[in-house]
Amino acid sequence: MKPHTTTEKHIVSLSASLAPITPEMHTWAEQSVFLKWGVLSRGKIHCLDCGHAWKPESQKQSLKFTKCTQCKGKLKMHGCNQVYFKEIEYSAVVTVQADFQVVRIICSTKQMKKNCLPSYYHKEVMQHWISQKGEVRTMSLSTNVFSQAYDAWQYYSPLEIRPKDFQNSPKYRISPYRVYPRLKVLPDLKRNGFKRAFYNIAPQVVLSSLLKDPISETLLKTGQVSWLRYYLHSHDQHIRLNWQAVKICLKNKYTVSDFGIWEDYIELLRWFKKDTGSALLVCPENLNQEHDKLVQRKRELQRKKYLKEMRAEIQQAQTLYAQEKKQFFGLCFSEAGITISVLENVTEFMQEGDSLKHCVFTNEYFKKKDSLLFSARIDNTPVETIEVSLSKMEIAQCRGLKNNYSKHHKVILNLMKKNLYQIRSRMKKQKAVKA
């Protein structure tokens, strides 16, 4: 897009005066960001780095890695018998222009073919311009919109200023494999704790954050690299919200085994209105265990609350249910440790749905006039729930956990079928009484 605002125009003019990427930088990239490859072709190992080819002494030599007998390079063996292929890697040059911190992203391609020296192609594809306040604007090449890859660069397009929301694009998050060792950084960054290392976080992300966010500054200054990485990388982090608790962890030198679980746990503490300023609570010895305990407790409380809210409704449903199905109450048959009995209470529908995780309660099967529901249990634990159609006098469905069949499915079906006559006889009785 064309630069419109003063800042955009300023960045575009500064970009034009940036020194070009030097041949030394390209050579450095060729040596530092790529693997060396070997390939086995017609019984010979070919080094795709120096072009040398030789017969391996044993089959073993042609496994995963091998050493070139000429250039002594450690070669990764290419899986298939391919004699031409390319590798693409990113690197970055970090520099300063006027008052801006600049991160220049270079995309390098290495083309390899047996019996040839590799050839390289380098292209600067993005420039991230970071102001002293940590705001970032990016200039980038265009990409091929019809490609499935988000980084299919159009190498002959110019670097153009991109809108502010470019930071939401996956291209912005491209993290270079290596950073050119001769860095230039703004003095503010040194003051905020930057010591030339990026800890596998994209430089544009670390540097802009260090300029605008005291949380990043504190985490870096106190050497909390894993916290920093989680804070800057995770899409679902709440470090800002949990900052007081984080500080307690840092103060107590508490190691968090899983940041996601820990944040979830802090959220639970808050739900229970517990003191998230207490080191005893915030830094549990067994995080997973404490987390699971709270999850369980929360579930039980929510269930109780739901039951309370539902009580009136359930009672009403129970009255109707008993009126309609009373004649079947007490039906129970068992065989080989399996007991099948009719559901007599609406709350039983709920328990059945809870333990087998199906919708017999939520879909209000107790309201279905033509259906009679049974629970098949072993040691009083529900295994499958059975629905019998009263008009057809047949089994409509019989399902276990998450609507799947249990391993006792066949036995349960047989036992139920054998006893359908008992249901029928109670229906006749009812009719007889009425008559």
Q: How many CB atoms lie within 10 A of CB 204?
A: 27
Q: How far is the CB of 174 from Zn ion (least distance, A)?
A: 30
Which amino acid is located at 23 in the chain?
P
Residue with Cβ nearer Zn ion (50 or 268):
50
User: Of 357, 359, 338, which Cα lies nearest the Cα of 410?
Assistant: 338
Rg (CA), the chain: 34
Residue with Cβ nearer Zn ion (114 or 291):
114
Q: How far is the CB of 71 from Zn ion (least distance, A)?
A: 3
Encoding tokens for residue 285?
A: 């010895």
Dist CA 89 CA 106 (whole Å): 8
Dist CA 334 CA 136 (whole Å): 72
Q: How far is the CB of 166 from Zn ion (least distance, A)?
A: 41
Residue with Cβ nearer Zn ion (32 or 397):
32
Q: How far is the CB of 38 from Zn ion (least distance, A)?
A: 8
Q: How far is the CB of 25 from Zn ion (least distance, A)?
A: 24
Q: How far is the CB of 64 from Zn ion (least distance, A)?
A: 17
Residue with Cβ nearer Zn ion (85 or 166):
85
Residue with Cβ nearer Zn ion (5 or 70):
70
Encoding tokens for residue 301?
A: 């409380």
Residue with Cβ nearer Zn ion (49 or 89):
49
Q: How far is the CB of 120 from Zn ion (least distance, A)?
A: 16
**Quick one: which H or E segment has residue 396?**
strand 394-399
Q: How far is the CB of 76 from Zn ion (least distance, A)?
A: 12
Residue with Cβ nearer Zn ion (12 or 50):
50
Q: How far is the CB of 39 from Zn ion (least distance, A)?
A: 12
* E-assigned strand segments in 119-197: 119-130, 136-140, 160-161, 178-179
Torsion sign, CA atoms 37, 41, 43, 44:
negative
Residue with Cβ nearer Zn ion (63 or 71):
71
Residue ranges in contact with Zn ion by CB under 5 A: 47, 49-50, 52, 68, 70-71, 73
Residue with Cβ nearer Zn ion (70 or 302):
70
User: Of 142, 40, 119, which Cα lies nearest the Cα of 82?
Assistant: 40
Residue with Cβ nearer Zn ion (114 or 128):
114
Encoding tokens for residue 85?
A: 């292929």
Dist CA 333 CA 348 (whole Å): 18
Contact indicator for 411, 402 with CB cutoff of 8 Å:
no
User: Of 279, 286, 229, 240, which Cα lies nearest the Cα of 263?
Assistant: 240
* E-assigned strand segments in 4-132: 37-41, 44-47, 53-54, 65-67, 74-77, 84-97, 100-113, 119-130
**Quick one: which H or E segment has residue 333?**
strand 332-335
Q: How far is the CB of 118 from Zn ion (least distance, A)?
A: 11
Residue with Cβ nearer Zn ion (73 or 134):
73
Dist CA 117 CA 48 (whole Å): 7
Q: How far is the CB of 75 from Zn ion (least distance, A)?
A: 7
Q: How far is CA 97 from CA 10, 13, 94, 162, in A?
A: 11, 11, 10, 19
Contact indicator for 355, 385 with CB cutoff of 8 Å:
no
Encoding tokens for residue 52?
A: 């040398």
Residue count of the chain, please give it.
Answer: 435
